[in-house]
Structure 1
Amino acid sequence: MSNGEVGGNGPARERITLITGASRGIGRALALALARQGGTVVVNYKRNTDLAEKTVAEIGEAGGRGFAVRADVETADGLSELFDEVARRCGRLDHFVSNAAASAFKNIMDIGPHHLDRSYAMNLRPFVLGAQQAVKLMDDGGRIVALSSYGSVRAYPTYAMLGGMKAAIEAWVRYMAVEFAPYGVNVNAVNGGLIDSDSLQFFYNVEGMPPMQGVLDRIPARRPGTIQEVADTIMFLLSEGAGYITGQTVVVDGGLSVVAPPFFADVGEALALPPRPTRGD
């Protein structure tokens, strides 16, 4: 079975999930969703021990089990220490979710070598090396999911560095999906649009950035997404129902990536979309 469960009529094996950057945001929401299904969650974090321990406590309250591992996945040694601890405490792994991310927001001409090195070390390298380590612990198949963003396929101010890394991640997902398929391991990505999170608020507070509302008006859904909606999408990709999905990037953006100018939000009254029709119309 590809999701770490016993076949036939035997009981389901408890699923063990490692999430990088799991003490807040999408990582935390995913951890609690997994806990509600009775799973074990490894909460990786870098600095805030109190926040990580609070997430572990909430995992227990939600019906799961969890433990926190402080490890800086930006370094190869830190990533190895993280997986060594998972191997020591669990002996195996069913899911690896590469969620942690960080980058400076700069125009291309303002990017220095140290910015590029850190963006690679924080965003791409932990996913690739982490996937290698995860496969070694997936003794009965498993799932790998990476977090991406719509900057991987669209260009917008100051996002070239992170968007380029996210595009690379999506390419690696396709290659991993092919090479890991014989091991029963599915690899996918989730590409989020404007998701209401601390990261979104930080990005739109960069000096010179236009108001967020101007973008929200152009999203067909007319609102930002929620971290829970992204977490729910990841949950599906980790489930048995997604057993035949691999090498894909699932977009969660309220339709943002499918619109182009002239935008529906900008048309005149003659072309404005009507209210929802009823059967009597």
Structure 2
Amino acid sequence: MNKQGQTGKTRQWCLILGASSGMGLATAKKMSENGYGLILVHRDRKSELPRIHTAFDALKTSGCPIHHFNQDAIMDTNRLDLVGKLQQLLPKDEKIRILVHSIAKGNLKPMHAEKGRIENADFQLTLNAMALSLYDWTISLLAANLLDSDTRVISFTSEGNTKVWAGYGAVSAAKVTLEAISRQMAVELAPHGIKVNCIQAGVTDT
């Protein structure tokens, strides 16, 4: 194996959810350097696309194949559509070995205020985006036979999982849920060769 992501003519793939900035984009850079093919999913405004495409084009200098999609990974219809596309794109003998969940979509609102206090819908949106979608994606990819027999699933939590910060209630709840889901997946999906880690990186210069 010349690089971690390639053995002979067979390539392994890294799927990153939330790949256009921060930890997601930094991970894409590192994975491309190690020979992985990249599947980059992001949701950004049209005005941001030139910057994002420039960053993605820079990754191609490694010589690794890259597929990127500007779709909302949280929506069930989009997830199923993307899984179907990946079944067509990836050669039958090539699988996703690394799934990185770096979706940051949530509401930061106070619990008590005359205007703009957090509502039930804010909790639901934040938990679905930053926690439950990890499970949805992992199970969908497993059912589609797209995961390698030795897969890593990685997500990111924060110090807000235990500390109280003003307006951080929904995100804090999502991070605690993310950690609980990761623990459960690590045990229940282990027979399928899936290893799950939830990383608390803290402030990170990407």
Task: Using structure 1 for the length normalisation, give the TM-score.
Answer: 0.63
SS in 2 for 1:73: coil
In structure 2, which of residues 152, 170, 181 is the aligned counterpart of residue 143 of structure 1?
A: 152
Cα displacement (A) at 1:45 = 1.1
Alignment partner of 1:153 is 2:162:
yes
Tell me whether 1:104 sits opposite 2:110 in the alignment.
Answer: no
CA contact (8 A) 2:127 2:173 kept: no
- Residue 169 of structure 1 and its aligned partner are, at CA, apart by 0.4
Unaligned runs of 5+ in 2: none
Structure 1 residue 186 displacement after superposition: 0.4
Letter in 1 for 2:196: V
Paired residue for 1:119? 126
Q: 1:160 to 1:178 in 2, by over 3 A?
A: same
| Secondary structure in 2 matching 1:192 | coil
Q: Which amino acid aligns with 1:99?
A: S
- Partner in structure 1 of residue 16 of structure 2: 19
User: Percent sequence identity over matched residues?
Assistant: 19
Cα contact 1:21–1:27 (8 A) shared by 2: yes
Q: Which residue of 1 aligns with 2:188?
A: 179
Please state if 1:134 is matched with 2:141. yes
CA RMSD of aligned residues (A): 2.1
The Cα shift of 1:74 comes to: 2.4
Which deviations, in whole Å up to 9, do the C-alpha atoms of 1:56-103 show, x marking residues without a partner? 311111342211112212211112222222222115311111111111
Which residue number in structure 2 is paired with residue 83 of structure 1? 83
The answer as to whether partners of 1:76 and 1:126 remain within 8 angstroms in 2 is no
- Per-residue CA shift, 1:229-262, capped at 9, x if unaligned? xxxxxxxxxxxxxxxxxxxxxxxxxxxxxxxxxx
Partner of 2:74: 74
Match of 2:31 in 1: 34
Counterpart AA for 1:135: L
Amino acid at match of 1:50: P
* Structure 2 CA distance for aligned equivalents of residues 54 and 139 of structure 1: 30
The alignment covers a number of residue pairs equal to 191
Residue in 2 that maps onto 1:226: 205
Kindly state the Cα deviation for residue 5 of structure 1 after the two structures are TM-superposed: 7.7
Cα drift, residue 167 of structure 1: 0.7
Residue type matched to 1:41 in 2? L
> For 1:186 and 1:12, how far apart are their aligned partners in 2?
25
Name the structure with the higher strand share. Answer: 2
Q: Could you tell me how far 1:171 is from its partner in structure 2?
A: 0.6
C-alpha distance in structure 2 between counterparts of 1:163 and 1:40, whole Å = 33
Contact 1:32–1:62 (Cα < 8 Å) also in 2: no
Tell me which residue corresponds to 2:62: 62
Instruction: Point out the structure with max Rg over C-alpha.
Output: 1
